[in-house]
Structure 1
Amino acid sequence: MKKLLWIVFVGLVFSSCNRESNLITNTGFAFGRTYTIKYYALDAETDFKDEIELLLNEINKSISVYLPTSDVSRINDGDNSIVVDEHFKNVFLKSYEVWTLTNGEFDPTVGGLVNAWGFGTEQPIDNISQKDIDSILQFTGFDKVTLTKEGRIIKTHPQVTLNFSGLSKGYAIDRIGAMFESNGIKEYYIQMGAEMLVKGEKFKTVHDAPITIENPDGQNPQQLSVKFTMENQSLGTSGNYRRFRVDSETGEHYVHTINVKTGYPQQSNVLSSLVLSTGSAMEADAYATALLVMKLEDAKQLLKKIDHIEGFIVSADADGDIQQYTTQGFREAEKIEGQFKQ
């Protein structure tokens, strides 16, 4: 049997657009990623850099788990006095929608299990037991959290924690786009990490997403170049970057996700996902994350169910060979150059 391959990098290389006198470019850092924003202003003196930074700071104060004083961090720490703002409400409600449509596979409360199994940012539990799992499951599940009409978060267990990183970059992109629209800016390109929103004819162009696959021994990496045209669309991507374990019985390398119902890791054959949406960037971001934690057949069914999103999925079959699944709409927008070698 061939060794399983896994995704180690998904990058985006974007073609540049023709410069005009009113083309403004802003760059910076937010949500742990760099961002690049281009837009055609009404005059050469217009620059929204300060407004963008203020907006990103406002969103961080609401939903960033990396900011100890943010609303979500304080709620996670047990502060019951917080009345959440519109940013928090928006990501909470979208998370609930995606959680429902994915039958709970997309779950902002799974952080405790991810950490316990050694796939998170905190120290894993050594020799994890069923008792440990049962304990963590008490505070895992988005059904254990309620947003009241007054804007307060009610948790069934004090240790339930929320993490909206699966859609936060997409949400920030949407808010920047809305700010542009309210100021009469109709042509813009917003890219944060691997998420993007493109609006206007001037930014209709071909984008290139090189996906690199590496063998478990680190030798002979393989690459596929996925080129696709974006026009008034958003893009979300997700990939299992070196997140694998070795099966002690077979010696096979497997990418893992956490089954939020059992509390245990499960083998996942989905390695990378790209989602194009005519809706929001938050939605594209969330569904790209969701596709990555779902079984391949379930992921295909989800894409068929939602008519305004299109997907490109890289997976591995039982022998470790790389497979590609592309929806019709994505196939019409993309051109594959090269292929994975078997």
Structure 2
Amino acid sequence: MIKKISMMMTCLLLIFMFAGCSTTNKEIDKTALKMDTVLQLKAYGPKASEAIDAAFIRIDEIEQMASATIESSDISKINQAAGKEYANVHPEVIKMLKTAVKYSKLSNGAFDITIGPIIKLWGIGTDNERVPTDEEIKSKLPLVGYNNISINDEDNSVKLLKEGMSIDLGGIAKEFAADEVIKVFEKYGVKSAIISLGGSSIYTLGQKSDGTPWSVGIKHPRNNSNQDYLGVISLSQQAISTSGDYERFFMKDDKRYHHILNPATGYPTDNGVMSDTIVVDSNIPDCNMLSDILTKTVFVSGIDKGLEIIDSVKGVSCMAVTTDYKIYKSSNWKIQLNKIDSEFTIVN
């Protein structure tokens, strides 16, 4: 448990918010441990406190549906029935699954929520992390494949076609929750807010109360200090998500084994990418959920293919960093990157 909490606090520092003080509205800032991560909600306005309380209630509802570790959840029901029968689930779980499958197809399997059996083998971020044998990985790879998710729209039921398969919505569920928090905030008239999901994903609602954009520091992929940033960007009404090989990993024989696994090989992705950041405009439906999916997609796909995918998706831009400290940007990345660490070079 100590290791798990430590890991989550590290994730909290991946993206740091430089927020100004409110001059016109009361600032409410609340943090809670939910969905296996540290969630921070900061809002301004006369009903900000009520809005945040209602948002946490909504997050709890989503966790009860989408957690792979809660035995009564819809995801657990799907996994328990794998290869046997269809499981009836909530329509919102269907929406998450359909979105995941859509982008699995777009990425040609670089993103795949059925990688659960491989994740369990590695145990990265748990007390059981280890390097599995080639034979163990090969035995589980046949269980990975988004094409073996069958969804029946008529009765909102789902079946995994092979026994032993399992899905884990992971970040998707948290990002779906962020999209729902936005709806809650809007209901309570909140026009200025920050939603931080463990620090690796952030949504900026409106601007700060002083009328200026939010400033977000992107974590330096190789420096451990909380104050070391690759650079700083300004955001307003946008979702941002960062994935990196430094979030959850362990070292063995001087080799880094991180949690972003390649569904095709069963091993941690090793293509020269060490972090990537996705920004999605708020007018894009499910912008938070999309930001998390696409960070994993780019990381596994690599620079060339990953940025090609991003350029094909409207309202989305990407910045990726390679192990030789070069920064690559998608053609539609228009955000100014400030205070760039001198170790990095912008290629395009």
Q: How does the TM-score come out when normalised to structure 1?
A: 0.81
Q: 1:58 aligns with which of 53, 58, 61?
A: 61
Determine the C-alpha separation between the residues in 2 that align with 1:252 and 1:44. 50
Contact 1:206 1:230 in 2 (8 A): yes
Matched length = 324
Gap runs ≥5 in structure 2: 1-9
Map of 1:112 onto structure 2 = 117
Cα distance in structure 1, aligned partners of 2:104 and 2:52 = 34
Secondary structure of the residue aligned to 1:277 is strand
Classify the secondary structure of the residue corresponding to 1:98.
Answer: helix
Match of residue 14 from structure 1: 18
Shift of 1:134: 4.1
Deviations 1:135-163 (A, max 9, x none): 31232111111111111111211211010
Match of 1:164 in 2: 169
Q: Which residue of 2 aligns with 1:207?
A: 215
> Which string of whole-angstrom CA distances, capped at 9 and with x for unpartnered residues, describes residues 216-273 of structure 1?
xx9x999444211111111111111263666x8xx77676854423445552211111
Residue number in structure 2 paired with 1:142: 146
Equivalent position amino acid for 2:327 in 1: Q
Q: Which residue of 2 aligns with 1:3?
A: none
Counterpart-to-counterpart distance in 1, 2:165 and 2:37:
27
Which structure has the larger Rg over C-alpha atoms? 1
3-state DSSP of counterpart to 1:136: helix
Q: What is the aligned-residue identity percentage?
A: 21
Q: Give the match for residue 5 of structure 2.
A: none
Q: CA deviation at 1:297?
A: 1.5
CA-CA distance at 1:101 after TM superposition = 1.2
Indicate yes or no: 2:40 matched with 1:36. yes
Distance in structure 2 (CA, Å) of the matches to 1:45 and 1:287: 31
Show CA shifts across 1:26-51 (max 9, x none).
Answer: 3322222222223344x458612432
Partner of 1:84: 89
328, 333, 342: which one pairs with 1:339? 342
Name the structure 1 match of 2:4.
Answer: none
1:1-342 correspondence to structure 2 within 5 Å: 10-41=14-45, 43=46, 47-78=50-81, 80=85, 82-117=87-122, 119=124, 121=126, 123=128, 128-130=133-135, 132-149=136-153, 150-194=155-199, 195-202=201-208, 204-214=212-222, 223-241=228-246, 243=249, 258-264=261-267, 267-278=270-281, 279=284, 280-316=287-323, 321-340=324-343
C-alpha deviation, 1:72, in angstroms: 0.7
Q: Which runs of 5+ in 1 are unaligned?
A: 1-6
Cα distance between partner residues in 2 of 1:127 and 1:65? 22
SS of 2:88's equivalent in the other structure is coil
For residues 273-324 of structure 1, the C-alpha deviation after alignment (integer angstroms, 9 at most, x for no partner) is: 11110131111111112222222211121122123111111112xxxx2211
Q: Distance in 2 between matches of 1:45 and 1:325?
A: 38
Which amino acid letter does the alignment assign opposite residue 53 of structure 1? F
Equivalent residue letter for 1:77: Q
After superposition, the C-alpha distances for 1:203-224 in whole angstroms (9 at most, x for unaligned) are 6524232423448xx9x99944
Distance 2:51 2:227 in 1: 40
For the Cα contact (< 8 Å) 1:235–1:277, is it kept in 2?
yes
State the alpha-carbon separation in 2 of the partners of residues 122 and 245 from structure 1.
14
Question: Please, what is the CA RMSD of the aligned residues?
Answer: 3.3
